[in-house]
Amino acid sequence: MGRKNYKALKLVLLCVLFAACVKDKPVDPIVTTPVKAAKGNVYIVCEGQYGYGNASLGLYVPSKDSVYEDLYKAVNQQALGDVFQSIEHIGSNYFLCVNNSNKITVINDSNWKFIAHIPVYQPRYILPVSSTRAYVSSLYSNKVYIINTQGLAVVDSVCLPTISAESMLLYNYRVFSCSWDTGSKSIYELNILTESLSQADNINASAPQEILIDKEQKLWILSGDAPEGKNAVLTRMDPDTKQILRAYSFDISVNPVRPVFNNTKDTLYFIEADYNGGIANNGIYRMGINEAILPTQAFIAAGQNQYFWALGIDPLTGNIYVGDPKGFTQKGSVGIYKPDGALLKTFKVGIGPGHFYFD
């Protein structure tokens, strides 16, 4: 079972604990006709409760201070599906990976009207690689699917040596792909010109899942699977020489997720989550790209019986967006923090806020 679904099932069992975790009452969403700004819109990917088909697409418009809790359903009069994993803006459309519904839902970027479903097995993330092609990672599968973003269909796939492709990154005609499989200690390079696997790069850490690139053009890979006894590791690697520049190892009890860079890409932020309700190793952490050790104190601490699940940094303001899923059994909330960590506001969203997309 993949990490995200493993956690989702665990969270159902913990619903009584987390149902009472909110201490500040968030502002209710504004319920009006959705209107987005020319730029600066913040889309909120709400996974929903695993197996219940109640995922939702939220929208916050900072310039209007407007919140739309379930944009897709309001516009299209139908539910989005089960486990909404990620969103990507390509051309004039948004592509929504609805993981457990085995589909990518395509909507228009001007009015969010439904256009098409693209059947894909357990889609996770979409990475555009050209004007007509995008790669799609897939949970439990050993394939990265290739879709035509104009024809809206799967046209090919690339097989990996291991299963559960997750995060991907495009660098100089190569796609670096993570495979969240405890049998993998490598990231895989896919050649977008030949649409084939070119090589595996050993990172000496099990189950890579997230990959980013910093201002010095060095890769950061987050690996690990604590339930399977594989501790988390952050690896900094040169993408050209494949030299491992530094490896930061977490304790087996620590669960880091959702790494993101600030807008200058010199500071890494990530979530450490305690799913059992404690306060140690629980909150938003940050570190410079040349730090010698991992941070020990939370930059934004989670409270008792609380944890965070979504993290994003607004490219226009530098404000930090944090999602609280509240156990995946009720509406979640979003907190917006200034770059110095001061709380600006909170508001309610759908169930299980997991990602933010700034557009």
pLDDT, one tens digit per residue, over 84-110 is: 999 999 999 999 999 999 999 999 999
* pLDDT in the model for residue 29: 46
CA distances from 150 to 72, 93, 122, 125 (A): 21, 10, 21, 18
pLDDT band at 32 (very low <50, low <70, confident <90, very high): low
Give the pLDDT score at 269: 98
User: Rounded to an integer, what distance in angstroms lies between the CA atom of residue 78 and that of residue 109?
Assistant: 18
Distance (Å, whole) CA 116 – CA 114: 6
Q: What pLDDT was estimated at residue 140?
A: 96
* Alpha carbon distances (Å) from 256 to 102, 196, 221, 224, 309: 27, 31, 12, 9, 10
Model confidence band, residue 81 (pLDDT cutoffs 50, 70, 90): very high
What pLDDT is stored for residue 277 in this prediction? Answer: 87
What is the rounded distance in angstroms from the CA atom of residue 149 to the CA atom of residue 132? 5
pTM of the model: 0.91
Q: What is the CATH number of domain 1-119+314-359?
A: 2.40.10.480
Residue 200: pLDDT band (50, 70, 90) is very high
**290 band by pLDDT with thresholds 50, 70 and 90:** very high
Task: Give 296's pLDDT tier (boundaries 50, 70, 90).
Answer: very high
Nearest Cα residue to 250 out of 267, 266, 270: 270
Give the mean model confidence (pLDDT) for residues 22-47. Answer: 71
pLDDT of residue 17 exceeding 70, the answer is no
**In sequence order, what are the beta bridge partners of 353?**
46
3-state secondary structure of 63: coil
CA distance 90 to 24: 37
Phi/psi-derived region of residue 327, left when phi > 0, alpha when psi is between -120 and 50, beta in every other case: left
Q: Place 34 in a pLDDT band, splitting at 50, 70 and 90.
A: confident
Distance from chain centroid for Cα 58: 15
State the Cα–Cα distance between residues 312 and 284, nearest whole angstrom.
Answer: 11
